[in-house]
């Protein structure tokens, strides 16, 4: 008899890392795959989920208006800004992951959905891929072009090109919100309106957080 090798855990984890990129191009296939709730699948996507949440948390923090003038308000240097952003990103990323994941699962349950809390959290995490992408693609470009002016009022980034890049970052947040609705629609097999209604708890809370940051800024 011919022996068949069992897939290694590292192979499964590699697939979930690849899906963190694939969700940007073929989100439907990724969200369908998330419905696999076996122990192997849950273990395989732990690290990608953690990375997506952390990177998206930093990307979200950098969008807050308060961070656009750190150099104006405090006697700090670039290293201090880096440390503040890293720690704030971790706090807000994982706080948002658990809180928004919970509200998303409650919204789905209220509409008679079957997705459990951890599946809702994983849909949320993979929907954050565009926001995480902004941190590794758009932000390095912005820093290379404008440096510390990104954290000052009226810096060199205030021109047209700087505004385009800033709005590109905002667009990734909107893209993530759209993916969240699409993800819930896919795993629950719902019409758009129902998926949007279930997602409004999480999306609304995100808007509230951004509004509070705007007031702080």
Q: Is residue 202 part of a domain?
A: yes
Quick: pLDDT tens for 168-199. Answer: 999 999 999 999 999 999 999 999 999 998 88
Q: Which is nearest to 96 in space by CA: 193, 204, 215?
A: 204
Number of domains in the chain: 1
Confirm whether 178 is domain-assigned: yes
> Would you say residue 96 lies in a domain?
yes
Report the pLDDT value the prediction gives residue 29, as an integer from 0 to 100: 95
Share of the chain above pLDDT 90, in %: 38
Distance CA 96, CA 54 (A): 10
Q: How many CB atoms lie within 10 A of CB 118?
A: 13
Q: Across all residues in the chain, what is the average pLDDT?
A: 83
Is residue 39 pLDDT above 60, yes or no? yes
Whether 34 is in a domain gets the answer no
Residue 158 lies inside a defined structural domain of this protein: yes
Q: Is residue 57, in this structure, part of any structural domain at all? A: yes
DSSP character for 156? G
Rounded to whole angstroms, the Cα distance separating 201 from 118 reads 16
Q: Is residue 71 part of a domain?
A: yes
Q: Name which residue leads in pLDDT, 82 or 132.
A: 132
For residue 103, the enclosing domain spans 47-216
End-to-end C-alpha distance for the chain, whole angstroms = 69
Those residues whose C-beta lies under 8 Å from the C-beta of residue 213, and which sit 6 or more positions away, are 64, 65, 66
Query: Distance between CA atoms of 26 and 129, rounded to whole angstroms?
Result: 12
pLDDT cut 70: percent of the chain above it: 83
Residue 112 gets the label, from left (phi > 0), alpha (psi -120 to 50) or beta, of left
Question: Considering the domain boundaries, does residue 177 fall inside one?
Answer: yes
Q: What is the pTM of this model?
A: 0.84
């Amino acid at each position: 008899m011919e022996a068949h090798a069992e897939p290694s855990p590292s192979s499964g984890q590699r697939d979930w890392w690849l899906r963190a990129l694939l969700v940007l191009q073929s989100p439907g296939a990724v969200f369908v795959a998330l419905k696999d709730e076996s122990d192997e699948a849950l273990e395989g996507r732990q690290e990608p989920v953690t990375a997506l949440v952390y990177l998206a948390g930093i990307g979200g923090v950098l969008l807050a208006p308060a961070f656009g003038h750190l150099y104006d308000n405090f006697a700090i240097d670039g290293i201090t800004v880096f440390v503040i952003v890293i720690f704030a990103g971790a706090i807000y990323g994982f706080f948002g992951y658990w809180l928004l994941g919970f509200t998303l699962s409650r919204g789905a349950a209220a509409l008679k959905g079957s997705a459990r809390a951890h599946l809702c959290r994983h849909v949320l995490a993979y929907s954050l891929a565009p926001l995480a992408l902004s941190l590794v693609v758009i932000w390095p470009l912005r820093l290379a072009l404008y440096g510390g002016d990104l954290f000052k009022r009226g810096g060199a980034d205030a021109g047209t090109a700087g505004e385009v890049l800033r709005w590109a970052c905002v667009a990734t947040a909107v893209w993530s919100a759209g993916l969240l609705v699409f993800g819930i629609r896919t795993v629950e097999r719902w019409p758009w309106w129902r998926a949007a209604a279930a997602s409004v708890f999480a999306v609304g809370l995100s808007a509230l957080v951004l509004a509070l940051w705007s007031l702080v800024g």
